[in-house]
C-alpha cells in the first residue's frame, strides 16, 4: 500500500517563532526537511501542511507540494486535517524541524507502518545523558517494541532507562481520525506532548535509530545543524 509523507509547519512556535523559514546554510529549514523526505525514495506523495502563506510560497518555489490548513492544536491534528482533505491513508508525519533526518530511517518507518497499520509508529534514538533535564529534548521509555511513556525531564541517574524521541510519527487513516476526534488530555497539555493523547489507547510501535536526533527547537540549534552539515550530517 502507498505511504505518503506530510510535513506540518507553522510560524507560531512558542520557543522559536518563524523557525520553518530560518535559513540553514543558506536554505530554509522546511525545504531541507522536505528534501530529506524526498531522498528516502519511499513516499508516493510529499506534502507540506501549513497555515501560513509565506511557508507555502517558499515550499512551492522549491518545487514541493503544499496544502493550506486551518489552525491546529498539534502537528498530528494538522496532518489529520491535511490527509483527510487529500484522501490519504498511510501517512508519515515528519516534523518540519528535522532537517538532518536520515532518509533510511524514514524508509524504515514507512515499512513499519505498512506492517502494522493498526499502530502508531515513532522513533527512539540514543539519549545524551547531559540532556536528561533539557525540556526541549523529549524522552521516550521503551519496552520491547513499544513506547510506554514520554516525558521532557528525567534525572541523570535514570537517563540510561530512556531514549530520545525523534519527531516522526506514522499512522493510518483510522488511527489518525481516532486521535483527532479525542479532546486534548490533561497530561498532553501538561507535558506539551501530543502523543500522550493516544498513549494507552492505541499501541505506539518504536523504530530504533542508531543516530542521535538533532532537531531545531531554539536558535542556537541552527549553528549545531550547520556544523553537522559540514561533517556529513550524522551523529552516532
pLDDT tens digits for 182-206? 999 999 999 999 999 999 999 999 9
Q: Is the confidence at residue 228, as pLDDT, over 90?
A: no
Nearest to 62 by CA among 41, 43, 34: 34
Rg of the chain on CA atoms, in Å: 16
Going by pLDDT thresholds of 50, 70 and 90, the confidence category of residue 146 is very high
Name the pTM for this structure. 0.94
pLDDT value of residue 235: 52
167, 31, 170, 41: which is closest to 107 by C-alpha?
41
Amino acid at each position: 500500500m502507498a505511504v505518503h509523507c506530510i510535513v506540518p509547519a507553522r510560524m507560531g512556535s512558542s520557543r522559536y517563532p518563524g523557525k520553518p523559514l530560518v535559513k540553514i546554510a543558506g536554505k530554509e529549514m522546511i525545504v531541507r526537511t522536505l528534501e530529506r523526505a524526498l531522498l528516502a525514495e519511499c513516499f508516493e506523495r510529499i506534502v507540506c501542511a501549513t497555515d501560513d502563506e509565506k511557508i507555502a510560497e517558499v515550499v512551492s518555489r522549491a518545487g514541493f507540494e503544499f496544502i493550506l490548513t486551518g489552525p491546529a492544536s498539534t502537528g498530528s491534528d494538522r496532518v489529520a486535517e491535511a490527509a483527510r482533505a487529500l484522501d490519504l491513508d498511510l501517512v508519515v508525519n515528519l516534523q518540519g524541524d528535522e532537517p538532518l533526518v536520515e532518509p533510511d530511517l524514514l524508509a524504515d518507518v514507512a515499512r513499519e507502518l505498512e506492517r502494522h497499520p493498526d499502530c502508531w509508529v515513532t522513533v527512539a534514538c540514543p539519549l545524551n545523558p547531559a540532556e536528561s533535564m533539557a525540556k526541549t529534548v523529549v524522552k521516550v521509555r521503551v519496552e520491547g517494541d513499544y513506547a510506554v511513556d514520554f516525558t521532557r525531564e528525567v534525572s541523570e541517574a535514570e537517563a540510561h532507562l530512556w531514549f530520545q524521541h525523534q519527531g516522526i510519527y506514522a499512522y493510518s487513516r483510522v488511527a489518525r481520525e481516532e486521535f483527532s476526534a479525542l479532546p486534548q488530555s490533561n497530561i498532553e497539555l501538561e507535558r506539551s506532548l501530543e502523543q500522550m493523547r493516544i498513549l494507552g489507547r492505541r499501541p505506539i510501535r518504536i523504530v530504533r535509530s542508531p543516530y542521535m536526533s538533532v532537531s531545531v527547537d531554539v536558535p542556537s540549534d541552527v549553528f549545531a545543524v550547520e556544523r553537522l552539515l559540514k561533517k556529513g550530517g550524522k551523529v552516532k
